[in-house]
């Protein structure tokens, strides 16, 4: 069993739709991370959070520590949001990664 589970694995949406990606984890954590990976391979950190909710532009990340669950929301989705979104958790400097959610936003 993976320490980090994501759903869905693949997601296709129409431009403008509200998108939710879910992440559950089974280990104690110091922080949870949402990462974005474009086809070129580079990974960009979107959020690092340990409680509550963070918002950056059209992206919102929430975490429920008691339930060991986090969600990433994208409002008013756009084709440029098409990427793989990876949930990761950290215990100090040790990281566990989910397998990613591949998002395609169709114009």
Q: Which is nearer to another protein, 28 or 92 (CB)?
A: 92
State how far the Cα of 107 lies from the Cα of 35, in Å rounded to an integer: 23
23 - beta bridge partners?
6, 70
For residue 39, state whether it binds another protein (rule: CB under 8 A): no
Single out the segment in contact with another protein by CB under 8 A; choices: 16-24, 25-33, 51-59, 61-69: 25-33
Q: Report residue 81: phi and psi, to 5°.
A: -80, -10
For residue 41, state whether it binds another protein (rule: CB under 8 A): yes
CB atoms within 10 A of CB 63: 23
- Interacting residue ranges for another protein, rule: CB under 8 A: 4, 30-31, 33, 35, 40-45, 48, 86, 88, 90, 92-95, 97-100
């Amino acid at each position: 069993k993976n320490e980090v589970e994501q759903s869905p694995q693949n997601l296709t949406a129409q431009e403008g739709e509200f998108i939710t990606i879910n992440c559950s984890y089974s280990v104690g954590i110091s922080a949870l991370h949402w990462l974005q990976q474009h086809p070129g391979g580079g990974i960009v950190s979107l959020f690092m959070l340990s409680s509550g909710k963070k918002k950056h532009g059209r992206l919102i990340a929430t975490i429920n520590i008691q339930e060991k669950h986090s969600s990433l929301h994208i409002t008013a989705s756009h084709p440029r949001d098409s990427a793989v979104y990876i949930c990761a958790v950290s215990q100090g400097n040790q990281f566990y990664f989910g397998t990613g959610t591949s998002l395609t936003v169709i114009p």
